[in-house]
Amino acid sequence: MSLLVVNGLSTEIRGRAESNLVVSDISFQVERGETLALVGESGSGKSMTALSIARLLPPAARVSAGEIKLSGRDLMQISEREMRDFRGSKIAMIFQEPMNSLNPVLTIGDQIAECVRRHQSVTRLVARQQSIELLAAVGLPAPQRNIDEYPHQLSGGMRQRVMIAIALAAQPDLLIADEPTTALDVTIQAQVLDLLKDLQSQFNMGLLFITHDLAVVKQTADRIAVMHQGELVEHGTNEAFFASPKHAYSRALLEAIPTAQKRLQRDLEQDAKRVTEVTQLEGEAAVGPILSVRNLQVHFPIRGGVFRRAVDYVRAVDDVSFDLHAGKTLALVGESGCGKTTVGKAILQLLKSNQGSVLFQQHDLQSLNNEALRKTRRDLQIVFQDPYSSLNPRMLVGDILEEGMTALAVLKTAQDRKRKIKLLLDQVGLPADSVLRYPHEFSGGQRQRISIARALAVEPKLIVCDEPTSALDVSVQAQVLNLLIDLQAELGMSYLFITHDMAVVSYLADEVAVMHQGQIVEQGPTDQILLQPQHSYTQKLLAAVPSL
């Protein structure tokens, strides 16, 4: 008998006028010791499926049809009381955000012991002992000490391990992991994935693994189910899926993932168009780098004492140097907290640096006075990571695009600006009537296009792209990356591309600089870095990247 059988499950969200079917008629099974990956983009209904199984749906949603059987018992038929016992002991869940899933005012030990004692009648001492064992099982470095620590004292990866420990506390039969590694860095992601695999075989659990990342799926899953707009469009074994995806949507998903090979294909397609551009740009490159950063240091003071004196410094950026040539893309790669975003902001003079110089077209930006800096701002722009917080929700798209032009006096008359806005919207592929709409009326990918148009409005020579695609779905990410490449070919801008995603790097960067703890540990042409990494950290980083 299968561990989990989902048969014809439909879940709807009640709206004001009509109900919205978010999961429609899906069926699958999970066996003991097996991993089923539920794959899909945001809004495809994969999390709703998981919440339906655990009966943790939000109040507005309900299961409208179908049955869910766990070890032969229909979960839809049992009372809420029984269900509470099921959760934890039979079904456990791990969520995406390790930062929000733990209670910040309770120690790690309290939170694990709570779950242990909920499902077994043991004394506090025994529960504590079991908690320590669990922490050791999930690979925390010092379980004896960690058990009395609070969540904020642990890193993101450690917190996710604690979450897994809590999930395992009652030895569940089925573990539902909802994007457990999405918020983590690649090296930590690799560790957590390994851990999950180990624990699964150790406890002989069924694992329902929900993710959007096909590379992760290939490494972990036994079988794969692809969801699209609430429906299960494809279901098969790992090998069969990656060998020949049957459904058109699955193929589109796979094709959307940026890789070095695809870049070559794209290059070939556009050869004719690019040849002229490239020669032209190389001519410029000979003149010298458009941006050269020398020995840049950004330190944030840690203040303490009565007069808030700086007692110590966080060395966010420590002695960073690199060159960027006109029309080229330099990727700044590193894990979260390595200081790559700080570098970007320091270049734009949004943050003050302590030492070093930022030479833009041979002018040191730090020595410019306010007026000269304002003039230079025309040439330097930024595209941010989060398309939701980078656009003012109370401004019309037209006003957002116009702001830079007005502030920097790029175009004098309102009519010229209007014409330019129309051109910009056309360039980034948005309808002309977007001008009178608010940002919230657009999807994440469209918003990122607005952000790009905003940066383009002042005709910059260099754009700092700070993880512009990391908040987007793969298929949208592909569109935005292609847009950036096309715009570069058309307008000849340089990109400083800040990212943590190696696949994106290989797709569009000319050169790569790898950052680690505020320093650049290795830099060079993309092929060289990706294929023959010299520094041990680069090697570790590349090894951790799951590949297709």
Partner 1 sequence: MSMQPTFLITDLLFFALTIGLIAFVFMVRKRPHLSRPWSQVLKSTTGSVSLMILLFYYAIALIDSMHFHPRVAQATESQYQYSSEVHSLLDVLMAPMRSRMEKTFSAPLATHSFSKEMMQGEEGQLQRDYPRLNYGGAHLTQPEEQKAADIISVSLQASAQALFYWALIWLFILWLYSQRNNQSLVTLLANVLRAKTTYPLRAIAMTSAILMLLTVVSMQLGQHYHLFGTDKVGQDVFYQAVKSVRTGILIGVLTTLITLPLAILLGALAGFFRGWVDDVIQYIYTTLNSIPHVLLIAAAVLLLQVYMSGHADDFDSLTERADLRLLFLCLILGITSWTGLCRLLRAETFKLREMEYIQAAEAFGVSKFKILMRHVMPNFMHIVIISVVLDFSGLVLAEAVLSYINIGVDPSMNSWGNMINQARLEMARDPIVWWSLSAAFVFMFTLVLFANLFADVVRDALDPRVVRGEQ
Contact set with partner 1 (CB under 8 A): 15-16, 345, 348, 350, 373-374, 377, 380-382, 384-386, 389-396, 400, 403-404, 407-408, 436, 438-441, 451, 454, 458
Q: How far is CA 12 from the centre of its chain?
A: 28
Report the residue number, 113 or 457, with the smaller CB distance to partner 1: 457
Please state the closest distance from residue 466 (CB atom) to partner 1, in A. 9
Strands 363-364 and 206-211: unpaired
**Rounded distance between C-alpha atoms, residue 533 and residue 527, angstroms:** 9
189 or 451: CB nearest partner 1 = 451
Alpha-carbon distance of 166 to 350, in angstroms, equals 42
Left if phi > 0, otherwise alpha if psi is -120 to 50, otherwise beta: which for 544? Answer: alpha
Question: In the complex with partner 1, which residue's Cβ is closer, 15 or 58?
Answer: 15
Of 207, 230, 176, which Cα lies nearest the Cα of 54? Answer: 176
Least distance to partner 1 from the beta carbon of 403, Å?
Answer: 6
Shortest spacing between CB 431 and partner 1, in angstroms: 16
Q: How far is the CB of 480 from partner 1 (least distance, A)?
A: 16
Closest distance of CB 399 from partner 1, Å: 8
Residue 80 vs 371, nearer CB to partner 1: 371
Least distance CB 405 / partner 1 (angstroms): 9
202/389 with CB nearer partner 1: 389
Instruction: For residue 70, give Cα distances in angstroms to 165, 484, 533.
Output: 22, 48, 48
For partner 1, give the closer residue by CB, 16 or 81.
16
Least separation in angstroms between CB 230 and partner 1: 19
Closest-CA residue to 519 (of 290, 314, 315) = 315
Q: Is 323 helix (H, G, I), strand (E, B) or coil?
A: strand
**Ordered DSSP codes for 67-85:** EEEETTEETTTS-HHHHHH
Nearer of residues 327 and 344 to partner 1, judged by Cβ: 344
Q: Cβ(531)–Cβ(359) under 8 Å?
A: no
Q: How far is the CB of 532 from partner 1 (least distance, A)?
A: 36
Alpha-carbon span 62 to 56, nearest angstrom? 10
Residue closer to partner 1 (CB basis): 96 or 385 = 385
**Least spacing, CB of residue 179 vs partner 1, in Å:** 20
Asked whether the CA dihedral 24, 25, 31, 35 is positive or negative, the reply is negative
- Please give the sequence-ordered ranges of beta strands (E in DSSP) within 305-442, or none if there are none: 309-324, 329-333, 355-360, 363-364, 380-383
Q: Residue 53: which of 31, 37, 69 has the closest Cα?
A: 69
Query: Which of residues 149 and 399 has its CB atom nearest to partner 1 in the complex?
Result: 399
Q: Report yes or no: 68 and 51 within 8 Å, Cβ to Cβ.
A: no
> What residue type is assigned to position 423 of the chain?
L
Question: Which is nearer to partner 1, 109 or 404 (by Cβ)?
Answer: 404
The tokens of 30 are what?
A: 């999970």
Q: Which is nearer to partner 1, 286 or 436 (CB)?
A: 436
As measured in angstroms, the least distance from the Cβ of 111 to partner 1 is 28
Class of residue 408 by CB neighbours under 10 A (exposed 0-12, middle 13-18, buried 19+): middle
Strand arrangement of the beta sheet that strand 462-466 belongs to: 380-383, 462-466, 494-499, 329-333, 511-516, 519-525
- Quote the tokens at residue 466: 């700070």
Type and span of the H or E element at 209: strand 206-211
Q: Can you give the three-state secondary structure of 237-279, one letter per residue?
A: EHHHHHHCCCCHHHHHHHHHCCCHHHHHHHHHHCHHHHHHHHH
Quote the least distance from Cβ 319 to partner 1, whole Å. 25
**Shortest Cβ distance from residue 114 to partner 1 (Å)?**
32
Smaller CB distance to partner 1: residue 386 or 486? 386
